[in-house]
Amino acid sequence: MLRCLVSRAIKRGLVVISIGISLHVGAADRLHVPALQSGKAVDGLLLDVTYIGSRLVVVGDRGVILLSDDQGQTWRQANSPVSVMLTGLWFIDDKIGWAVGHDGVILKTLDGGENWTLQLEGKQLNSLRIAQFQTLVDAGGDSAVPDLPLDELELYLDDALIAEEEGPTQPFLDVWFSTPQEGWVLGAYGLLLKTTDGGEHWSIYSHRLPNPDRFHLNAILATRDGLFIAGEAGMLFRSLDQGEQWEALDSPYDGSFFALAEYQNHLLALGLRGHLFISSDNGDSWDQISLATDASLTSGASVENKLMLAGLGGLVLSGEGLQALSVKSSADRRGWSAVAATLDSWVLVGEKGIKRLSIATGEVQP
220 phi/psi in degrees, rounded to 5: -130, 140
Count helices and strands (H / E) in the chain.
3, 28
Average pLDDT over residues 113-131: 98
Looking at residue 47, what is its pLDDT?
Answer: 99
Alpha-carbon distance of 153 to 186, in angstroms, equals 19
Buried b (16+ CB within 10 A) or exposed e, 253-270: bebbbbbbbbbeeebbbb
pLDDT in tens, 215-232: 999 999 999 999 999 999
Query: Does the pLDDT at position 116 exceed 70?
Result: yes
* Alpha-carbon torsion (40, 176, 259, 126), positive or negative: positive
Average pLDDT over residues 124-150: 97
Alpha-carbon distance of 348 to 74, in angstroms, equals 14
Average pLDDT over residues 189-201: 98
pLDDT in tens, 57-104: 999 999 999 999 999 999 999 999 999 999 999 999 999 999 999 999
Counting every residue written for the chain, the total comes to 366
- The CATH architecture annotation of domain 10-121+168-365 reads 7 Propeller (2.130)
Buried b (16+ CB within 10 A) or exposed e, 62-88: bbbbbbbeebbeebebbebbbbbbbbb
Average pLDDT of every residue of the chain: 92
